[in-house]
Amino acid sequence: MAPIRVALIGLSSSAKTAWAATAHLPYLLSPAGLAKFQIVALLNSSTDAARKAIEFYKLPASTRAYGSPSDLAADPDVDLVVCNTRVDVHEATIAASVEAGKAVFCEWPLAQNSEVAAALVSKAEKAGALDKTVVGLQGRVFPLVENLRRVIASGRIGKVLSSEVRVFGGLNDRVILPRTLQYFTRSEVGGNIYKIGFGHVLDTVQSVVGDVEKDPETGKAVHGHFQLQRPQVKIRDADGTITETVTSDVPDLILVAGTLPESPRTQKGATLHYRFRRGQPFPGEPILSWSINGEKGEIRVVSPGGAFLNIGVENPPITAELYDFETDKVTPLEWEWADWQKDLPMPARNIGGLYEAFAAAQEGGEVGYPTFGSALARHKQLEELISGWKA
């Protein structure tokens, strides 16, 4: 097939965050990426900024530079628009391309709130392009996570009875933020540890055990308890100097519980418990631990060094084990990165998995990736969970 022609939004030579450069560009410029995709355009805050990025990243001189979302949307030689801006700029930069019926890959969160996300979904539906939208909930295509789904489907642990998740992190420190992430203290922006750190893990977990059901009495799918333990957050400049203290309105301790959907592999009334606390754990305690308890066995996933299952952690690595109740033995659950993933930096591996799934769908395969519709459902769940809580 002809390469899918890509326009990147937010690949900047002076970006405050570098997700486009660290997670998207390595895949797109790898042998696997080049076999299916071709970068043909960049959209930045101005055409001059886009030209500087083209030069900085040594992209082909033929790469077109845009400073206007509508100009990009009008380019007939762009097949896929990929957005890596701050969340509260997503809608402004991709809406025109969505309305034009282009395929659009947008990082998570899709928008600052579910209302804006719903508007984007509506635009994609009207354009007949919802199945061509992709959202960066890449934990769903993590090979370890895909293997967990296979193990549960095989019946090795019997029906799922409960699942428990315990996570620390979301940020590297419990009281300090880098200047570039100061907006994490403002809930209205939509990019913070609740939507990103907590939300990515919640989405990944539910992709394995199922989305929790709504309570018929309350109408809510999950019950939560929130606390803002440390509202005063220190801001650190690039030189390491603490320059000010700001007040956050984003919770830093989140406790949730919900009932998993009954299925051939899940017992009626099975429970999901999830505890997330910002900052470092007690020394020696893993940053993430996740258990899936079944009738015949239990799965345990442990990540000593990082909370982000959506990215993966290299050193020390994430481990998965299965405890068989009948034999009383614990065995590793083997999983492996694909060969093309092994040559990429860790942030690019699962992002590359989304690109691979998108390319396969364009060849007539299933839509094996989360769409804007998936993102809207997760936005609504997160907002429903936190509704009524005030800092």
**Which amino acid would we find at residue 317?**
P
Q: How many CA atoms lie within 13 A of 43 on its CB side?
A: 26
Alpha helices by DSSP H, the chain: 19, 25-28, 31-34, 47-56, 69-73, 90-99, 114-126, 143-154, 199-209, 339-342, 346-362, 372-386
- 109 and 176 share one domain: no
Structural domain ending residue among the three candidates 326, 356, 378: 326
- 181 and 314 share one domain: yes
Q: How many residues does the chain have?
A: 391
- 154 and 128 share one domain: no
pLDDT band at 16 (very low <50, low <70, confident <90, very high): low
Per-position b or e across 16-35, b if 16+ CB within 10 A of its CB? ebebbbebbbbbbbbebbee
- 14 and 106 share one domain: yes
- 156 and 122 share one domain: no
pLDDT, position 210:
96
Instruction: Report pTM.
Output: 0.95
CATH number at residue 119: 3.40.50.720
Sign of the four-CA dihedral 92, 94, 97, 101: negative
- 357 and 227 share one domain: no
For the chain, the domain total comes to: 2
Question: Looking at the domain assignment, is residue 340 inside a domain?
Answer: no
pLDDT band at 288 (very low <50, low <70, confident <90, very high): very high
pLDDT band at 15 (very low <50, low <70, confident <90, very high): low
Question: Looking at the domain assignment, is residue 387 inside a domain?
Answer: no
Average pLDDT over residues 139-158: 97
Domain residues for 248?
Answer: 140-326
- Residue 106, both tokens: 């947008």
pLDDT, tens digit, 9 for 90 and up, residues 292-303: 999 999 999 999
pLDDT, position 377:
97
Question: Looking at the domain assignment, is residue 377 inside a domain?
Answer: no
**Which amino acid would we find at residue 314?**
E
Q: What is the DSSP letter of 219?
A: -
pLDDT band at 150 (very low <50, low <70, confident <90, very high): very high
Ramachandran sector of residue 219 (left: φ over 0; alpha: ψ -120 to 50; beta: rest) = left
For the sheet containing 329-332, what is the strand order? Answer: 222-227, 253-259, 266-278, 160-169, 288-294, 297-303, 319-324, 329-332
Is the per-residue pLDDT at 115 higher than 70? yes
- 153 and 131 share one domain: no
